[in-house]
Structure formats: structure tokens, C-alpha cells
Amino acid sequence: MFPIVRLRRNRRTSWLRDLMAESTLRPEDLILPMFVVEGENERHEIKTMPGVYRQSIDQVVITAKEAQERGIKAIALFPSVDDKLKSEDADEAYNLDNLVCRTIRTLKNKGLEIGISCDVALDPYTVHGHDGILIDGDVDNDQTIKALSNQALVLAKAGADIIAPSDMMDGRIMAIREELDSNDFTHVNILAYAAKYDSSFYGPFRQAVRSNKKEYLSKATYQMDIRNIKEAMREIEQDISEGADMIMVKPGMPYLDVIREASERFDVHIFAYQVSGEYSMLKIASEAGVLQWEKAIVESLIGFKRAGAAGIFTYAALEVADMLK
């Protein structure tokens, strides 16, 4: 009790604050998402995501090397697919020579010591922009699972280290795990987007991968209701029971309560995704002079760690790794 107890004593110097810190942020905690396009020497900034680029495979290799040199342990690949390759059934997703597969093979051939995570979802490849197969205007769960299993197998054959289903179909983790195991890919990890919400923060991402066919495309029938946390726990529990090695909560900042609850309830690594809208919100505000970028981005990431996240997908990974040196 004051005046005997003076909590400010532990905050009086920088070294003492570091000594007493309850949460830490390291480059090893960060995963760098990257957008891949066809071509050579292509590097185009995404207007709605300042500082983030669509890059051709050769440029992705350069960026991946930079990430590795900074201590970042994994990258995540997202394709920006030409409209001519999109179809109702997302046929290009099952092509062993598609853009993502070629990127994986190129990175592996370069001998980089960095993990490669790849999303399993059909929205970059469909003409309608949904994450699954449409039947009579609705995303059909069971047909989509078959398609996702095919996509996962193709990515594993190309050399992906982590398969990350982000589609939110019921039962897809078990189906993908069985497909991988039956084809001798028992070593490939599954990072399940178990609590992926029907969020308004995905807009810049959908523009980046050119999956946004309408100004607003509702995915409310399969992505989670933003009002629910108990349902998120059920989703996570089910995905773990079906063979998920790791769990994702997406988006991150509006769902710190979900990260906290999941990290306390389940004995698996919980990852957070600082999605495109979160990143752009902070970046654009800082460019307008409203926020100080370095302090704001680190504060936001520490918030994920404090809530219980084991790792964070963030488009600012390279910048933050430099800040942490």
C-alpha cells in the first residue's frame, strides 16, 4: 500500500522498464505476407496499402532473403491472379504450375531457410470472389471441401511448409489432413484460420489479390459473426480435434478478447493476423501526421503478444524487424 508500495519505481529508467517487461516482441514473432504477380522485375505499390507491393517471383525472392536476414522465420504467399485464369470452379487453384506453386519452387531452389505458408481458399481463383464453389448462388460446403483438399495437395507437392485453410468451411481441416497424410505429406503443418470473422477490415487485401468483384461481397454465411466469441471457441476446438497444428484469429486488433480466450483455453500456438485494413489504418494515419508510425505499429503488435498470440502476420514485418534491432 502507498507510500510503502510505489509502482513507479519499476518504471524510472529504460533498462529497468526492459527488465520488468511482461511481453516482448522479436523478429521471430513476425510472419510477412506477400502478394505475387506474373512477370519479371515487377514491383508495384498497392494504393490502399502504402509500403506494400505486388511483386513478381524474382522480387519475392529478394524480399524473402531480406526477411530471412532480419530474423523473420516465415512468409505467407498470396497470388494476384489474372482475370483470364479465373473460373466458377477455381480450376487454376489445382494447377501444379500455377503462380503460387512456381513461387514456392523458386524459393525452395534458392535454398532459403525460411518457412512458406500458403492460404487454402478459392477466392483468388473464382470469378465471383467467394472462398468456395457456388451452387444455386450459395457456397456449397461439401463440394468446396473437395476442392480445398485438391488445392492443399497441389501446394504441398510444390513444397509449401504450412497449409493455411482460410475458407471457414465445416470439416475442411480433417479432409485436408487426410488428403495430405494419404499422399505422404504427414510433415506438412496445418495453420487453421479457425476464427475468421466477417470483417470490414479486409477491403485492401481483396483489392490486392483482385478478388473484390463487388463493392461489398458478403461472406456472412461462412465467415464468423463479429458478435460471437463462444462460437469462435467451438470453431477452434473443432479444428484442433481435426488435426490443426496451429490456430489463426483474423482480424487481430478488434478481436484481442478472442486471442486471449483461445490462448488460455487451448494448448496450441495461437496466431493473429494484423489484416490489411488494420495495417492501412495505422499507415495512412501516420502519413497524415495523426500517429507516429514506429510507436503505433509496435504498440499494436505488442498488444497481440500481450493478449497471448504466439506469432503475428503483419505487412509491416520488415519495417518492424528493423525497428527491433
In angstroms, the CA 37 to CA 59 distance is 10
Q: Which of 47, 108, 110, 250 is catalytic?
A: 250
Could you tell me which of 233, 202, 232 has the C-alpha nearest to residue 219?
202
Backbone φ and ψ for 15, nearest 5 degrees, come out as -65, -35
Q: Are strands 311-314 and 269-274 parallel, antiparallel or unpaired?
A: parallel
In angstroms, the CA 238 to CA 185 distance is 22
Q: Is 171 helix (H, G, I), strand (E, B) or coil?
A: coil
Mark whether 157 is an active-site residue: no
Could you tell me which of 76, 80, 7 has the C-alpha nearest to residue 43?
80
Q: Are strands 74-79 and 269-274 parallel, antiparallel or unpaired?
A: unpaired
Mark whether 47 is an active-site residue: no
DSSP string, 232-297: HHHHHHHHHHTT-SEEEEESSGGGHHHHHHHHHH-SSEEEEEE-HHHHHHHHHHHHTTSS-HHHHH
Cβ neighbours of residue 8 under 8 Å, at least 6 residues apart? Answer: none
Radius of gyration over every alpha carbon of the chain, rounded to an integer in angstroms: 20
Find the helix or strand (DSSP H, E) in which 45 lies. strand 43-46
Q: Which of 86, 196, 219, 283 is catalytic?
A: 196
Backbone φ and ψ for 5, nearest 5 degrees, come out as -90, 115
What the block records as the C-alpha cell of 92 is 487454376
**Cis peptide upstream of residue 124 (ω within 30 degrees of 0):** no
Residues labelled catalytic: 196, 250
